[in-house]
A and B are shown apart, each in its own frame.
Chain A
Amino acid sequence: MKKMYTVMNPSGIHARPALKIVEAASRHHSDSYLVKDGSRFFAKNLINMISIGAKYGDTIEVVAEGEDSLAAIEAIGAVLTSRH
């Protein structure tokens, strides 16, 4: 399962939002990934998340597989579309 989101935080996915994504992903059993420019980043790993380097307005695909994949994707999507 996958969904597209646009980064709404004016400073992009910097350290704090990255931590929030990891927390959101880790609350779910499914493994989730963020795909940007064809590269996959493991959402449960902080260093991966920090390394995405996504800016405001970038489009990101969130992919998850497993029972609670939809919940996982939406939890991550909420962080991506949050303004801060």
Chain B
Amino acid sequence: MQLQGIPASAGLAWGRALHLVSSTRQSESPTIPLVRVSAELKRFDAAVGQAIEAIEAIRASLLEEGRTEEADIMEVQLVLLQDRELVGKARDKILHLHYASHAALEAAMADVLETMRQHSHPQLVERAMDLEDVVHRIGRNLRGEQSVLEGLEGSETLVLLCESLTPSEAVLLNPKVVAGIALIHGSVTSHVAIISRSMGIPTVVGLGPDLQSIADGQMVLLDGTTGTLTVDPAEVLGEAEVLREAEALRETQVPRETQVLGEAGDPMSTAEAGKRQIGRVPQLPRVRGEGGRDTGRQLLSNISSCAEAATALSEGAAGIGLFRTEFLFMGRNDFPSEEEQFATYRKVVSTFDARTPVIIRTMDVGGDKPLASLRLEEEDNPFLGKRGMRISLMRQDLLRTQLRAILRASAYGNIKLLFPMIATLGEWRQAKAIVAEVQAALTDAGIPYNQSIDIGIMIEVPSAALLADRLAQEADFLSIGTNDLIQYTMAASRNSPSLRKLHDPLQPAVLRLIHQVIRSAHSHGKPVSLCGEMASEMAALPLLLGMGLDTFSVSNEALASVGWQLSLLSERWDSAQLRLAAEAVLDLDEASDVRQYVQQHFPELQQVQVLP
């Protein structure tokens, strides 16, 4: 059997299939059938036991460090777990009412909170937080959010099959064990795809429900470059071909030096794959305009970690166009401290020389990047809910901590600050005012920072795109995040494979919006960068050049091929020709017409395979 999906992270993966039941799926039914009651009780007790162990371990290490006050807080949580009221009531609900563990736990917590309200004292408020904390810990244990993934080990490599994967699950994957990822849903631009690319794990998304029919333990061959998944490849392809594939696999098993996560043993790094496809580009050529003159256009890299910053440098990026800081916050139960963040930001900016731009975006969680530690309630439509700057403005404590860390790091290089998900002028002004307050506090404390730091706005909400002229007046630069801008403009989820035609960067409406943003910013003399995956869409490159986009920011894997294309385009066509093309497509009817236009006018682009 062979399934076709959408290639999301290049490379070959060969291993045993393993279905991963997504944590979000298990929490659907609030009740269980009678036959499962005793098993459910065991599951619940195990989750409580795990929570007790975890808290005891935290408490022990706190005591060791002499942090007795914090240890006492953990002690409170420990006795809460031993209290009949919470755990006992939850067990009763499973036993007598056949509640599922998570529902029983929620109900028991509600009861306890109700009792607290009846006997209300101001001191109880902080206790409620302890209660929520332990309940969430048990809930996480029940969902197996961490254990399932952390427990994956063994001598054989695995290809994970799952419906979808949350980013916080994805960051916990061990690339030594997980050779590949195959998803029923998902799209190339989903964050899971971004994470798997950065970890170098071959990934195919949108394989459809047929994926369910594959049994655990079957050998599968996943090709993240072509998007195919072959079950029992010996039967379908013939032994010779499997051997050849396996041979190709062995050849590419080169240990990577620059990435922390992947050690020898992963099938193929995406960077390798990208280079192979375009016939090894030894050095990233400068982007040049007519007459070989430097156009001033820059090719930067999108990163999520210090390791990726080092890779960006070795791959020849002119800087960092987008540092996604949310990955510092994910896969953990607490928030990173100012010192921890400062150390990371400083390390990233110190990777480059003092003039190289490093654009740091404040935490952009929410949407498809939920954060366990924030404990936000679930929303019907998370992409239209609390995410990005909206959360930062609600949790200003977190924002201020992050801003202090970023500003302190700005003393060590050319850091620029970027705010995500701005939708109104008010949000932007509020964010900027908070920056000013944090700056003033740093000045008072005598802590050095770059006082003239550039502050930019992410244009990803259509309202911000329509207000680009107003925003550009006040900001130092704009950065277009096309992944979200496209899905919000076209009202088509980027995670829905069947809507790929709508979620297309070449949709004339999207191109018009981007054109308008660039023009508005330039009319105020402000530069515009584009850091969505559109910047590595080959057919979009001549159009973006023609619109006058100043900075392209792409993943490390795409740096070489995009750099090669940009310099090819700039050498063959002068800016007037490119501008003409960019303006011509704005009046076309469909994305397919735009694609055809680009193919006709820029045939050289066709020689190169597009890397996702």
Contact = CB atoms under 8 A, between A and B. Distances in A.
A27 B488 CA distance: 59
A59 interface: no
Interface-centre pick from A14, A19, A22, A47 (highest chain B CB count, 10 A):
A47
Contact of A47 (B72, B78, B84, B124): B124
A18 B130 CA distance: 15
Interface in B148-185: none
Nearest to A23: B84
Contacts of A16: 75, 79
Interface in A16-57: 16, 18-19, 22, 26, 39-42, 44-48, 50-53
A15 interface: yes
A45 B83 CA distance: 9
Contacts of B131: 47
B70 interface: no
A19 B79 contact: yes
Nearest to B115: A45
Contacts of B112: 45, 47
Q: Is the interface of B mostly helix, strand, loop or mixed?
A: helix
A51 B125 CA distance: 9
A15 B76 contact: yes
Nearest to A45: B115
A51 B127 contact: yes
A4 B109 CA distance: 32
Contact of B123 (A22, A42, A51): A51
A44 B83 CA distance: 10
Contacts of B82: 19
B116 A46 contact: no
A42 to B, nearest CB: 4
Contact of A45 (B75, B79, B85): B85
A84 B491 CA distance: 63
A44 B111 CA distance: 13
Nearest to B127: A47
B80 interface: yes
Contact of B124 (A14, A18, A22, A48): A48
A48 B79 contact: no
Nearest to A44: B85
B131 to A, nearest CB: 7
Nearest to B86: A46
14 contacts: A14-B72, A15-B76, A15-B78, A16-B75, A18-B79, A44-B85, A45-B116, A45-B119, A46-B85, A47-B112, A48-B124, A51-B121, A52-B123, A53-B123
